[in-house]
Structure 1
Amino acid sequence: MSASLIFDIAPLGSLVAYSDGQPKPPSRFTRKLAAWKSRNGVGRLVRKEPGRERPTYTTPPSFTLHEGNFGEGGIILITVLRSYGIDSDLSFRVIERPKIGQVRVVQDVGGNVELLHLAEDREAAELWLAGKGYSRARLEGIAADEVGAYAIEGRTAA
């Protein structure tokens, strides 16, 4: 599916795969493999941003995928986020949607909502939030009506 469909119908917290359609090169071709990995992967949908028009430039709507945290000893050194405009030439597909009963920990950033964490239940979300100390974060539960709306309206992205 296209990037614009991911932007339109995939809920925050969805696990999204992206691909350029090319086969994975053998591991002995390290440069080709690195280039392939930059255009093929999986990430969790953490942000959607509407397009912007400024006097000198225009940006299309975009979304951001969180691909992972890297560190050692419980300390995160690098967080990998990739943003894609709705005009991206890659193909996307939703691998997994948030389940009923899960809870999103979100915060408002510049007029948009950003996913900080997806917890299995409210207790786990509150525990995570207490340990991290985000002062502007709030909890959003995944309800049956949100999950059901995608199936009823025919907007399933998987």
Structure 2
Amino acid sequence: MSASLIYDLAPVGSIVAWSDGTPRPPERFSKKLAAWKTRNSQGRLVRKEGERSLGATSLSPNFTLHEGDLGASGVIAIRIHRTFSLESTLTFKVIERPPLGSVRVFDRAGANAELVHLAVDRHAAEEWLTQHGYPHAVLDEVTEDEIAADHMEGRAAA
């Protein structure tokens, strides 16, 4: 599916894969494999941003996927996020949607809020917040209506 369908249909918290359609190179070609992995991977949908302006420049809508974390001993040193424009030529697929009743923890309220955690329920989300300290966090439960919206107009986000 296209980037615009992911933006329109996939709920925040979904696991989304992207691909350029090329076959995976053999392990012995480490440089080719590393380049292939940048164009063929997956991550959790953490943000959707609408069209916005920076001075006279207009930026198109986009979405951001959290691909992974780098660190050691439980300390995250670097978070790997990939942001895709709706004009991306890559192919996308929803691998997994957030379960009904799970609770998303956003770093702040508003349209540009970023998902920082997906908890199994409200109690787990509140417990996670006490340990991670996001003072302006917003909790948002995944509802049946939102999951049903994946199949609007006969289109499925998978």
TM-score bracket, shorter-length normalisation: over 0.9
> How far apart are residue 113 of structure 1 and its match?
2.1
> How far apart are residue 60 of structure 1 and its match?
1.3
Q: State whether structure 2 residue 12 is matched by structure 1 residue 12.
A: yes
Structure 1 moving runs of 4+ over 6 Å = none
Q: Secondary structure at the residue paired with 1:113?
A: coil
Q: Secondary structure at the residue paired with 2:7?
A: helix
Q: State whether structure 2 residue 33 is matched by structure 1 residue 24.
A: no
State the AA in 2 paired with 1:105: V
TM-score scaled by structure 2? 0.93
TM-score scaled by structure 1? 0.93
> How far apart are residue 153 of structure 1 and its match?
4.4
Report the identity percentage: 55
CA contact (8 A) 2:43 2:67 kept: yes
State the AA in 2 paired with 1:50: G
> How far apart are residue 39 of structure 1 and its match?
0.3
For structure 1, list consecutive stretches of 5 or more residues without a partner in the other structure. none
CA distance in 2, matches of 1:8, 1:45: 12
The equivalences for 1:2-151 within 5 A come to 2-108=2-108, 111-151=111-151
CA distance in 1, matches of 2:57, 2:96: 35
State the AA in 1 paired with 2:154: G
> How far apart are residue 70 of structure 1 and its match?
1.6
Deviates most, 66-75 or 50-59? 50-59
> How far apart are residue 78 of structure 1 and its match?
1.1
Q: Secondary structure at the residue paired with 1:53?
A: strand
CA distance in 2, matches of 1:58, 1:120: 38
> How far apart are residue 51 of structure 1 and its match?
1.9
Deviates most, 136-145 or 104-113? 104-113
Alpha-carbon RMSD:
1.6
Q: Secondary structure at the residue paired with 2:148?
A: helix
Q: Secondary structure at the residue paired with 1:108?
A: coil
For structure 2, list consecutive stretches of 5 or more residues without a partner in the other structure. none
CA displacement, residues 78-125 of structure 1 (integer Å, 9 cap, x when unaligned): 110000000001000101111111000013377412111001111111
CA contact (8 A) 2:107 2:113 kept: yes
Distance 1:85 1:109, change over 3 A: farther
